[in-house]
Amino acid sequence: MQAPDRHIPYITTQGTPFMRGRGLGRLEPQRVRHTVRSYMAIFRARAGLRREAVFAQAERFMPVIAQYAPALLEEMRGIAEGAGCDVREIVAINARTELMYGITQRGECTAIGVQSQAATDGHVRLAQNWDWHPSLAGSVIAWHIRPEEGPDLMTLTEAGIVGKIGINAYGLALCINLLLSDSDNEGPAVPMHVILRTILDTAHSVQEAIDLIASTSRCTSCHHLLADRAGDVAGVEATPSGQYVLRPVHGVITHTNHCVDAALFARDRGARDEPETLARGARIAELSHGASLDKASVQSLLADHGNAPNSICLHPQREWAFARQAESVASVLFDLTAGTIDIADGPPCQYIYRQISPDWLNA
């Protein structure tokens, strides 16, 4: 089956958890199945997991998800029914980080948060390039979820995965960077992507998100870059052994795929195994320091090719093996002040950002 085109569609589903999941599966069955096929190939190439082993791993995580976020497990069941998949396939892709724990991966994502005092127009912004395997480019969707209870939200994610980057109607936005820690383990614990969606489902503010992250058991590591409509911006480096909260310096936070906190950095496998994250982190910090950080300049920063081929704006390289291929499969910029979302369908040097102004975000 041919992969879907890489244009990122804006999809809306609503109702009960099962109904909104089934709605997504029915609207985008090809993208959901493409996500599953792509991850099955990645699981085998990176972790040596064949189909039955993937199913066994999914079964390990289902009880944890059922206890922590039963509505999201129902949503996964709905996606599976709607797209004609085995529910274990959908659970597995939602636990994709955990199924590949401990495996060094080429850097994923460069992110920046800007408070009003650092912006020429006084707007609060959160932005990132989402760097991941090129085979997933045809899976990416902007999924608008209208639950029966709780806030509307939009998550930029692969079709079939319940949450990743996103923003909710409370005015809380979330960007991420994958981290690798010596404390990562096989679990089971709450999958990273379930935690991300739960933040978008429940958090009214940056502080509420920080508290939620601190109270949740996890077995893999992630940096959560957060901003809210009130102007608060923070980063949370979360690992199974502890977390550290980063605050803006001169109104700006930048982050790549390693911990900044000294204690967490001492156990940071990503920085040891893929030191390119250090150079990329230094590059984004240098470009943003003292810069005029309006919308255009943040977008230009995300299109930077310094340190190529391991640049902020990332492109695949022929000499890289399949398991290590990566590119900027999407780029996103949230304007918390204006209530707008700008999305590029791939590396921002090649794809023009298009703006979405959801009525639910400006309510």
Q: What are the CA-CA distances from residue 182 to residues 187, 217, 245, 254, 265 (Å)? A: 14, 16, 19, 23, 10
CA nearest neighbour of 245 among 212, 220, 280: 212
The amino acid at residue 207 is: Q
Alpha-carbon distances, residue 69 vs 142, 261, 328 (angstroms): 22, 30, 30
Confidence at residue 363, expressed as pLDDT on a 0 to 100 scale: 62
Q: Determine how many CB atoms are found less than 10 A away from the CB of residue 126.
A: 26
> What is the pTM assigned to this prediction?
0.97
pLDDT in tens, 187-236: 999 999 999 999 999 999 999 999 999 999 999 999 999 999 999 999 99
pLDDT at 292: 81
Full set of structural domains in the chain with CATH: 10-99 (1.10.10), 110-356 (3.60.60.10)
Taking a C-beta distance cutoff of 8 angstroms, is the pair 338, 123 a contact?
Answer: yes
> Which pLDDT does position 291 carry in this prediction?
82
> Residue 357's pLDDT band (boundaries 50, 70, 90)?
very high
Contact in structure between 135 and 6 (CB atoms under 8 Å)? no
| DSSP class of 305 | -
Give 174's pLDDT tier (boundaries 50, 70, 90). very high
pLDDT at residue 1, rounded to an integer: 53
pLDDT digits (tens, 9 = 90+) for 99-112: 998 777 666 799 99
Counting residues of the chain whose pLDDT is more than 90, the rounded percentage is 93
Task: Answer whether residue 276 shows pLDDT above 70.
Answer: yes
Overall average pLDDT of the 152-160 stretch:
98
pLDDT band at 3 (very low <50, low <70, confident <90, very high): confident
